[in-house]
Structures are given as structure tokens and as C-alpha cells.
């Protein structure tokens, strides 16, 4: 299954490589993914029993409606899409104005509502490079991506993800709360916002509270604790000295991964990432 939305750090192109590093019995218990993002890893492995979560309330609202109201969600997205595409002959400025109207509607909608879910999908397809970013007040603020048309959402693609979610518990929670439900025999895959590379700008504002080094240290501590309780965990992150320092005492290996979401074309391409595990 392919992800419905684009998300920074998506794992679709390296999902098979990452899965090869899972413990052999990863699917014998419950699979946990506390930073679900675009869901590429989750959709690739299609776990039998799973708990997915994210601190971003609107993102979790989207997945909840994909699970419980796929028909209504599809109809609403199609309606917005047709309205946007009807501006085809009016030029890019008219489309930008419409995009900004949709962005305002999104920011003023209830985060758990189906309207928010519809608009999250639409904005993800129309905004600059599929980014999701919030300002300090929690408002989505990514500019228009100069798109001529809104791509069609195939009903079968939406239904496939909806079916996969039927045996999945969806939580709007911090990762520590999410993994507190894990038991020996379960497997946890953590894909947090990455530690910034070098002097490059930090892109951690997937939600208004951000995600900093102290949060990375919380993940490292949690992975040690999970190991003590017999729970296997794996984490993806950037290859930096800070990363290796924070995750000292855990097993660290490298992987080549494409960077598909970047503000500049020069920032896209293959980069080295680390795979951190609390097991051999």
C-alpha cells in the first residue's frame, strides 16, 4: 500500500531495507509506531496488530476519519478538488487565492473534525513540496505550491488504507505515553523528527511545540528502558555526532536514504541516516 499523504522523512523507498533490520519475531506481538507521519513503514509491513500515534492532533484526526468514514472523506475531498480544478482557466493567482482560503478554513476547523481531515489531505497535495509545518500558534503556514490541478484521490487507495487501519488503535499522544502500552514481545519503531544536519535550519515544527534535543534524549532513555523490559525497539535518525552521542549505548548502523522533502532542490538526494536498535 502506498501512503495517502506526503510527509517529511517518509520511508517508502527504504521500507524494505528497514524491515530487514527488524527482529525476526517483530510481528508476534503488537507493532507500535509513535510517529506515524505519512505511514509509509506501517503500510509497507501491514502488521497484524498495531498501535499508531502522533502528537499532531490534525494528522491523527485524518487517520481516524480514513478508518471510520472513508466514504464521506472521499466525497468531501473530491468536492474540494473539483472546485479547485474549476479554476483552471483563471490563472495561477486565482488558484493561490483559493489555496489560502482553504488554508484559513483548515486552521479554523476543529482538529478532530472531518473537515480538518479533508483539508489536511487537500493542502498536503497543493502546498509547497508536501510539507507540513505549524507556526508557534499551531497554524499551518506552508505556502502554495503553484499547482495547476489537484490530483485525483482514487477510492481504492483510500479504501486499502482504511481496511489496514481496522485492526489498529490510533492515538493522539506523545511517544512516551504511546509506548507505555508496550509489553514484552511487542516491537516499537520510532521515526521522530530528525536531528538537524550541521548548520542547516532545524525543521521540527510538525506541530507547534516542536521537537528538540531533550526530546531525542527522551527517546534514547525510552529505548534503554524498553530493552530492560524485554521490548525490542528501533529508531531512524540523521547521521550526526550529536545523534551518536545522544544514543550512546545502543546499536547504531547506517543506511543510505533519499531526502524527498526539502526547501531547496540542492538539499534533495541520497544521504546517510542511522538505524538505532536496542537489540543485536
DSSP string over 119-188: HHHHHHHHBGGG---B-TTS-B-PPB---SSPPP--HHHHHHHHHHHTTEEEEES-HHHHHTT--TT-EE
Hey, what CATH class is 12-55+173-277 in? alpha beta
Q: What is the mean pLDDT of the chain?
A: 92
Fold match, 12-55+173-277 / 64-154: no
> Residue with C-alpha cell 489536511?
120
| pLDDT reported for residue 226 | 98
pLDDT digits (tens, 9 = 90+) for 92-151: 999 999 999 999 999 999 999 999 999 999 999 999 999 999 998 889 999 999 999 999
pLDDT for residue 229: 97
Q: CA distances (Å), 142 to each of 5, 44, 77, 130, in order?
A: 15, 28, 19, 9
Q: Where are the domains of the chain?
A: 12-55+173-277, 64-154
pLDDT of residue 270: 82
Residue 263, pLDDT > 60, answer no
Q: What is the dihedral of CA 174, 176, 177, 178, to 10 degrees?
A: 80
Q: What are phi and psi of 156, to 5 degrees?
A: -65, -30
DSSP state of 87: T
Measured distance CA(66)–CA(55) in Å, rounded: 18
DSSP 8-state symbol, 48: S
Q: Cell numbers for 43, please give them.
A: 503500510
Shortest CA distance to 102 belongs to which of 142, 59, 53, 64? 142
pTM for this structure? 0.91
Domain 64-154, CATH 1.20.1250.20 — does that match?
A: no
Amino acid at each position: 500500500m502506498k501512503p495517502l499523504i506526503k510527509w517529511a522523512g517518509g520511508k517508502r523507498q527504504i521500507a524494505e531495507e528497514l524491515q530487514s533490520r527488524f527482529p525476526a519475531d517483530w510481528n508476534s506481538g503488537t507493532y507500535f509506531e509513535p510517529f506515524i507521519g505519512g505511514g509509509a513503514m506501517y503500510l509497507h509491513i501491514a502488521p497484524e496488530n498495531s498501535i499508531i500515534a502522533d502528537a499532531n492532533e490534525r494528522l491523527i484526526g485524518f487517520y481516524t476519519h480514513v478508518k471510520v468514514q472513508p466514504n464521506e472523506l472521499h466525497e468531501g475531498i473530491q468536492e474540494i478538488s473539483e472546485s479547485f480544478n474549476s479554476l483552471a482557466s483563471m490563472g495561477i493567482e486565482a488558484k493561490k487565492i483559493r489555496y489560502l482560503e482553504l488554508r484559513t478554513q483548515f486552521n479554523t476547523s476543529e482538529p478532530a473534525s472531518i473537515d480538518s481531515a479533508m483539508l489536511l489531505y487537500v493542502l498536503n497535495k497543493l502546498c509547497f513540496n508536501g510539507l507540513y509545518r505549524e507556526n508557534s500558534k499551531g497554524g499551518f503556514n506552508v505556502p502554495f505550491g503553484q499547482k495547476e490541478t489537484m490530483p485525483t484521490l482514487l477510492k481504492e487507495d483510500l479504501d486499502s488504507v482504511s481496511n489496514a487501519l481496522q485492526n489498529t488503535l490510533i492515538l493522539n499522544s506523545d511517544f512516551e505515553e504511546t509506548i507505555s502500552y508496550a509489553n514484552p514481545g511487542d516491537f516499537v519503531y520510532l521515526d521522530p523528527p530528525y536531528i538537524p544536519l550541521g548548520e542547516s535550519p532545524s525543521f521540527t515544527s510538525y506541530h507547534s511545540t516542536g521537537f528538540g534535543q531533550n526530546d531525542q534524549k527522551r527517546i534514547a532513555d525510552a529505548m534503554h528502558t524498553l530493552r530492560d523490559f524485554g521490548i525490542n525497539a528501533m529508531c531512524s535518525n540523521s547521521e550526526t555526532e550529536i545523534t551518536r552521542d545522544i544514543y550512546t549505548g545502543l546499536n547504531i548502523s547506517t543506511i543510505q536514504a533519499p531526502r524527498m522533502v526539502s526547501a531547496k532542490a540542492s538539499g534533495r538526494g541520497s544521504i546517510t541516516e542511522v538505524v538505532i536498535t536496542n537489540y543485536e
